[in-house]
Amino acid sequence: MQLSLDPETSRLLDTAGFDRALFEGLVARYQAGELGSERNYVSGKLEGPEPGDVRPLPAPGSAEHRALEERGTRAIAEGQVGCIVLAGGMATRFGGVVKAAVPAVRNRTFLELKLADIRKAAERAGGKVRVLLMSSFATHKALSEMAEREQSDALHVEVFQQFIALRVRADGSVFIDDKGKASPYAPGHGDMTFALRASGALKRFTDSGGRVLAMSNVDNLGATLDPAVIGAHLEFGKDMTVEVVRRTPKEPGGAPARLNGQLQIIEDFRFPASFDKMSIPYFNTNTFVLNARAIDRDFPLTWFVVKKKVGGTEVIQFEHLVGEVSAHVSTVCLEVPREGNIGRFQPVKDPDELEQRKPAIEAILTARGVL
């Protein structure tokens, strides 16, 4: 395909790791009918999780919880634990701002609070935690400036940039906006493992003695570095621990299931109509603990067609999702509390949801000594 782009967009693509061959290949597959919303469904033998696939986090104060907490604390103190914070999205529902820089509670931004929470855990353990912060072309400059201000004896923050792609029209041609420019976007958090490796950040982490990485979204301030969760991951002995919470009636969301015998996260839109996804009482929070060496390879993640509207025009984006890594490594799910001062799931997708969740977020962070 012929890409005739304005100089500004061309420079942006060059600096943000645009893979022209991959993009052209995806467009060709889309035009050939190999990609599309009707092809997003999984195929094969699909079943709910088996006993032992989802294990509860022991209640705080119990002997089991204390043992896991002690194990996780030792790992943090020994420098084996790092955090990945996903902050590369476009935040379209916040008006296209850098969501990490949006004030969340008491005039402190999402990123400030996320890093303060991690720092507190590091200080309690007596260790130093490396934070790997995934940015995008839209957030990289702001996040780099914020990260520089957050360095401390207990926290080392490194920013690595995810990749970039171009929106296309329904016929597969590059979408040109009303200003005569192509429309770039960040192609989903499935970039995480690829960008982590390409940037060298993963190697730097493992070379420094890093063993496990706790990953969460910047907009979920309930998910933090919890020594008990790290201890549980180490106890389970799997490459990937997925935090799940109980599903409320009719609540949508990706869920743990077995596809052809392999436990993995199946995104909500991938369940075929013939399968009762609501029969699975858990859903994915997009908070994981990962063995660093297990993700030091390229995964054959599925590319999905996602429809968006830009200036009233329907456009196509090709995206992949990090939860699908669970299909390629040994995986277990950890049921974590959702509500109360120990709740770990307070996602914020738009300003209205932020206002709704503020009291719960403030209570959680106050209980943890962050506020």
Q: 222-235 pLDDT, tens per residue? A: 998 999 999 999 99
CA distances 111 to 120, 176, 251, 290, 326, Å, are: 14, 33, 28, 21, 26
pLDDT value, residue 252: 86
pLDDT score for 250: 82
pLDDT, tens digit (0-9, with 9 covering 90-100), for 11-53: 999 998 899 999 999 999 999 999 988 888 999 999 999 999 9
| pLDDT score of 5 | 82
Q: What is the mean predicted confidence (pLDDT) over 348-368?
A: 94
For residue 20, is it within any domain? no
Instruction: Specify if 264 maps to a domain.
Output: yes
Structure tokens at 238: 């799997």
Q: What percent of the chain has pLDDT over 70?
A: 97
Torsion angle in degrees (nearest 10) through CA of 298, 303, 307, 313: 80
Q: Is residue 280 part of a domain?
A: yes
Average pLDDT, the chain: 94
d(CA 350, CA 358): 12
pLDDT of res. 275: 95
Stated pTM of the model: 0.95
What would the mean pLDDT of 166-193 be, rounded to a whole number? 93
Q: Residue 44 domain-assigned?
A: yes
Residue 108 main-chain phi, psi, to 5 deg: -105, 135
> Using 50, 70 and 90 to split pLDDT, how confident is the model at 156?
very high
In the structure, what pLDDT confidence band is assigned to residue 136 with cuts at 50, 70 and 90? very high
pLDDT of residue 92: 63
Q: Given pLDDT bands bounded at 50, 70 and 90, which one contains residue 179?
A: confident
Contact of 232 with 334, CB cutoff 8 Å: yes
- Domain extent at residue 57: 35-366
Q: Are 204 and 131 in contact (CB under 8 A)?
A: no
Angle at 69 between CA 66 and CA 75, to 5 degrees: 145
How far is residue 130 CA from its own chain's centroid? 17
| pLDDT of 91 higher than 90 | no
Q: For the chain, how many structural domains are there in total? A: 1
Q: Taking residues 216-224, what's their average pLDDT?
A: 96
- Looking at the domain assignment, is residue 188 inside a domain? yes
Can you give the pLDDT at residue 199?
97
CATH number of the domain encompassing residue 303: 3.90.550.10
Percentage of the chain beyond pLDDT 90 is: 86
Average pLDDT over residues 84-92: 81
Average pLDDT rounded to a whole number, residues 343-352: 94
**Average pLDDT rounded to a whole number, residues 46-70:** 97
Query: Is residue 296 pLDDT above 60, yes or no?
Result: yes
Q: H/E element holding 269?
A: none
For residue 37, what pLDDT is reported? Answer: 82
CB-neighbour burial class of residue 154 (10 A; exposed 0-12, middle 13-18, buried 19+): middle
**Confidence band, pLDDT 50/70/90 cuts, at residue 261:** very high
**Euclidean distance between CA atoms 133 and 157, whole angstroms:** 7
Q: Is residue 19 part of a domain?
A: no
Q: Which residues of 74-107 are buried (b: 16+ CB within 10 A; e: fewer)?
A: bbbbebbbbbbbbbbbbbeebeeebbbbbebbee
Give a yes or no: residue 26 inside a domain. Answer: no
Residue 3 pLDDT exceeds 80: no
pLDDT tops 60 at residue 1: no
- In sequence order, the β-bridge partners of residue 264 are 257
What is the length of the chain? 371
pLDDT of 7 over the 90 cut: no
* 157, 224, 292, 371 from 147: Cα distances, Å: 6, 17, 22, 20
> Residue 39 has what pLDDT?
87
Would you state the pLDDT for residue 38?
83
Q: What is the mean pLDDT of residues 257-274?
A: 96
